[in-house]
Structure 1
Amino acid sequence: MNVIRAMANAAARRLDVMFPGYFMAAKHNHYRDFGYPDKVTFDMLYAMYTRNGIAAAAVDKTILKTWQDVPFLQEQQRDGTQGAHTKETKAEGEIRQRFEDLRLWSRIAETDRRSLVGSYSGLILRLADGKTFDMPVDRVPGGLAGLVEVIPAWEGQLAVSEWDTDQTSGTYGESKMFQFNEASVGDDIRQPRQFMLHPDRVIIWSRDGTFDCKSLLEAGYNDLMTLEKVSGAGGEGFWKNAKSAPVLEVDPEAKIDEMARAMGLPVEELVDRMNEQVEDWQKGFDKLLMIQGMQAKSLSVTLPSPEHFFAIALQSFAASITMPVKILVGSQTGERASTEDATEWSQTNMARRNNTVRPNIMELVNRLERFRILPERDWYLDWSDLTEASMSEKIDRVTKMADTNQKMQGTGELVFTGDEMREVLGKEPLTDEQRYPDPVGGNDNDEFDTPPIVVPPVDTEIED
């Protein structure tokens, strides 16, 4: 009985090796069988972003929507058009001008972009405090002029070189020093910068400000690989059908030795010579293939339609980044579906603004306050609402409100007031002077003055 059991186990093991996942023991390893990596590194994510159009669209369209306009830093929250220069204070105007000179918002947007590719990115602060990058920051003289430059850094360029392992320290578990190497990512033609970096001089940019976040592309990385396989195999298959290597079938009556002798070659070199002829023939569509005693046949590749396979992987990847497929690939079919997708996409990026971008920006503001580059204030970040309706949609809404009032006239009830309609359009309510102008002489504008009524004199004399 033991011998039979041992033989059965041996047979099962052989079958499991021949047909993994179908017989007895081993679990199905999807990553190994389908060619997916067990672990996704930053270098793999960066390569996917730079070489895969769908991956690049996912990152770039997210950034373009999030940063479709730039915020304004205000000393206090107030009504009105965001960033209206007519209402800005002196300090706000100086900050706006300095940020424009430094191209601060575009540099921050680039930092935000890099954080989507990696687990995090860094915003390095170059300060005019007369100290090197590896030294802590106290107070920076010169006010706004103390901020010299902001440098976006990829995850692959910025690494922690030393951690705080003192459990009694207030910064236990945090970084004590970074190492920045600009040449670690990409091909930089200028002299790359490399230095040790104190945590005071860098803002870690991620969803929660830590190093433990995930790349936007990681959840759908397998789908991106599938998209590459489908599109690459389809392109290669069409090319091979258009220009395939011929299969040379030798006629039984052919005399190989005579063929070699006619070509001036020894028989053992005939195969290499035929390979050279085939290679020359493949280099151009207009070349002839000269063969003797052989018949050239082509092997065609039968390809199924790749659209369905591509669409499945595309939908899965779009779901992993919470982006509608129509937004991702730019296909707009059906007005209603497109409008709903655009609304959902605006809501997604508005949530991202509030939960990720705004806290990171305010971390920078707090850091600049601590360095005395910005004065201490209760700073407010004024930014437009991505979900706000367009002006045409607002006018359409006001038109419907006016139509409702018109239909309700018979009941004597005014459903919407004029101020409510103005509010929909983003306008301030009318003042009492605008609503009830002085009818006579109370307005300096002559066109509002009512001319006096002139009564002609009455002739009381009776003619004879």
Structure 2
Amino acid sequence: MNPLALIVNAARRLDNMFPGYFEKQQKHNHYADFGYPANLTFTQLHQMYSRNGIARAGIEKTILKTWQDTPFLLEAERDGSEGKLKKETPLEKEIRLRFDQLRLWQHLAEADRRSLVGKYSGLILRLGDNKRFNEAVDTVGGGLLGLVEVIPAWEGQLTVGEWETDETSENYGQPKMYQFNEAQVGDTTNKTRQFDLHPDRVLIWSKDGTVHGQSLLEPGYNSLLDMEKISGAGGEGFWKNAKSAPVLQVDKEAKPDQMAKAMGIDPSELVDKIGEQVEDWNKGFDKLLMLQGIEAKTLGVNLPSPEHFFAIALQSFAASIPIPLKILVGSQTGERASTEDAKEWAQTNMSRRAGQVIPNTMALVKRLAQFSILPEKDWFLDWTDLTESSMAEKIDRVVKMADTNQKMKDSKEAVFSHEEMRAVVDYEPLSDADKFRDDITGDDADDALNLPTVAQPE
């Protein structure tokens, strides 16, 4: 037996006899066989987001749903003990106006988007403390005006320049200094900002608030490559069939010298002349191809139906996000199925908010309070519920509740009260005075509420 085969067989037997001590021999390297990169870089992920429509849809639809509306920063929870809405305080109004001026919520949404493409993103804080970006922050004067600008940054623009290696430091293992180079990603036109950045002046936006996150595109990257291969090969195949470049087969009795003489050229120029003739023929469907002793044939490309292969990769990518397939590609084939998908998608993004977006946002609020830009207190982030029913659905529910009461009128007891119906459409409960007024009319109402009688003109 071949010595190499003996070695391989011995290795396989040892692996079976002592699992865990001897490395199992792999039959295939799937990444090498199928052309998948073993390690992904930010550049590859960003290029996929920029040039692949399915990848972009996965990112954009996640962001658009999560940031369907913008939140409000409140001094206290929106709902009081009696369920009534509280009025906006002067400080809340000042914060809202300043955040709108800075377009803060839009910049946070952009940082969230960029964190899905790379392992993380950054939000650079430009502060009015008359210090450089590489200096630590103490106290920033001017209140809300102390926050001058917020700058979203890609992973490729914001890198760790130095790590804290002092084991006695409370920040051991954390970034000690960042490096920001605006021209590292995308179009470099008018991107000139480049500086070292102290950690006080940057907020890392990721699932855990560190630079060790994972791109949303990474688990489904191989499936995205498969879709590109299928669509690219299909497009190239159809183009080749339409182009119909001929293959010239020279007959053994062909006389090239006579062909060259008939064309009025030297025999050494015959190949070039035939090439020009074929090129002219390819440029227009009304051209003629006249050859002497040469047969022109076309090589057709037989393309299998790509839908099945494309669908497998598409489903795999949708599962990796996760996002319902109908929402990812925008097809709606059934009302019930679409409604269920929409509910599931809303719940997924509510989970994203709770687990990633809100903690990162509150980390920014805490940082601003630390710098005295915001007062130190328990702040609350008020955000509408993505899973909440629409007003049309709520009204339809109230109509059904009223119909139920009507059908049960013989029992002389309403199944649903007025207050329960008002609560469904988010209306405040009626006050006791309003309830009493509904039961009496005219002068009786004024007497009952002890209202003064207004004299009527004669």
Q: TM-score, normalised by structure 1?
A: 0.88
Structure 1 residue 299: Cα displacement: 1.1
Structure 1 residues 85 and 51: CA distance shift in structure 2, 3 A: farther
Bigger drift between 118-127 and 233-242 goes to 233-242
Structure 1 residue 85: Cα displacement: 11
Counterpart residue number, 2:18: none
Amino acid at match of 1:138: D
Provide, for residues 64-109 of structure 1, a one-character-per-residue CA deviation record: whole Å limited to 9, x for no partner: 11111000111101229xxx99821111111111111111111111
Counterpart residue number, 1:68: 68
Bigger drift between 434-443 and 140-149 goes to 434-443
Counterpart residue number, 1:109: 109
2:114·2:153 contact (CA, 8 Å) conserved in 1?
A: yes
User: Counterparts of 1:376 and 1:8 in 2: how far apart (Å)?
Assistant: 73
User: Counterparts of 1:234 and 1:449 in 2: how far apart (Å)?
Assistant: 85
Counterpart residue number, 2:19: none
User: Counterparts of 1:171 and 1:451 in 2: how far apart (Å)?
Assistant: 74
User: Counterparts of 2:2 and 2:253 in 1: how far apart (Å)?
Assistant: 58
Counterpart residue number, 2:393: 393
Structure 1 residues 171 and 8: CA distance shift in structure 2, 3 A: closer
Counterpart residue number, 1:412: 412
Counterpart residue number, 1:217: 217
Describe the SS at the equivalent of 2:149.
Answer: strand
Amino acid at match of 1:34: F
Bigger drift between 427-436 and 264-273 goes to 264-273
Structure 1 residues 422 and 214: CA distance shift in structure 2, 3 A: same
Provide, for residues 29-48 of structure 1, a one-character-per-residue CA deviation record: whole Å limited to 9, x for no partner: 11111111111111000000
Counterpart residue number, 2:17: none
Structure 1 residue 407: Cα displacement: 2.5
Amino acid at match of 2:229: K
Rg comparison, structure with higher value: 1
Describe the SS at the equivalent of 1:195.
Answer: strand
Structure 1 unpaired stretches of 5+: 13-23, 453-464
Counterpart residue number, 2:373: 373
Amino acid at match of 1:388: E
2:78·2:85 contact (CA, 8 Å) conserved in 1?
A: no
Counterpart residue number, 2:422: 422
Counterpart residue number, 1:143: 143
Bigger drift between 102-111 and 248-257 goes to 248-257
User: Counterparts of 1:248 and 1:63 in 2: how far apart (Å)?
Assistant: 55
Structure 1 residue 7: Cα displacement: 8.6
Structure 1 residues 190 and 8: CA distance shift in structure 2, 3 A: closer
| Aligned pairs (5 A) from 1:33-432 | 33-79=33-79, 87-432=87-432
2:446·2:453 contact (CA, 8 Å) conserved in 1?
A: no
Provide, for residues 169-195 of structure 1, a one-character-per-residue CA deviation record: whole Å limited to 9, x for no partner: 100110010000000000032142100
Provide, for residues 194-218 of structure 1, a one-character-per-residue CA deviation record: whole Å limited to 9, x for no partner: 0000000000000110111110100
Bigger drift between 204-213 and 394-403 goes to 394-403
Q: Identity over aligned residues, as a percent?
A: 66
Structure 1 residues 260 and 327: CA distance shift in structure 2, 3 A: same
Q: TM-score, normalised by structure 2?
A: 0.89
Amino acid at match of 1:406: Q
Provide, for residues 224-283 of structure 1, a one-character-per-residue CA deviation record: whole Å limited to 9, x for no partner: 000011111111111111112101121232101222343454444433333333334334
User: Counterparts of 2:403 and 2:62 in 1: how far apart (Å)?
Assistant: 39
Describe the SS at the equivalent of 1:436.
Answer: helix
Provide, for residues 88-141 of structure 1, a one-character-per-residue CA deviation record: whole Å limited to 9, x for no partner: 111111111111111111111111100000000000000111011000001111
User: Counterparts of 1:443 and 1:109 in 2: how far apart (Å)?
Assistant: 54
1:85·1:93 contact (CA, 8 Å) conserved in 2?
A: no
Describe the SS at the equivalent of 2:248.
Answer: strand
Describe the SS at the equivalent of 1:36.
Answer: coil
1:441·1:449 contact (CA, 8 Å) conserved in 2?
A: no
User: Counterparts of 1:328 and 1:11 in 2: how far apart (Å)?
Assistant: 47
User: Counterparts of 1:300 and 1:5 in 2: how far apart (Å)?
Assistant: 45
Describe the SS at the equivalent of 1:374.
Answer: coil
Q: CA RMSD in A?
A: 2.6
Amino acid at match of 2:330: G
Counterpart residue number, 2:15: none
- How many residues are paired up? 432
Bigger drift between 283-292 and 398-407 goes to 283-292
Structure 1 residue 374: Cα displacement: 0.8
Structure 1 residues 75 and 451: CA distance shift in structure 2, 3 A: closer
Counterpart residue number, 1:20: none
Provide, for residues 296-332 of structure 1, a one-character-per-residue CA deviation record: whole Å limited to 9, x for no partner: 1111111111111111110010000110110000000
2:177·2:197 contact (CA, 8 Å) conserved in 1?
A: yes
User: Counterparts of 1:409 and 1:387 in 2: how far apart (Å)?
Assistant: 33
Structure 1 residue 287: Cα displacement: 3.6
Structure 2 unpaired stretches of 5+: 10-23
Counterpart residue number, 1:17: none
1:179·1:196 contact (CA, 8 Å) conserved in 2?
A: yes
1:347·1:386 contact (CA, 8 Å) conserved in 2?
A: yes
User: Counterparts of 1:280 and 1:125 in 2: how far apart (Å)?
Assistant: 61
1:207·1:213 contact (CA, 8 Å) conserved in 2?
A: yes
User: Counterparts of 2:367 and 2:280 in 1: how far apart (Å)?
Assistant: 66
Structure 1 residues 86 and 287: CA distance shift in structure 2, 3 A: farther
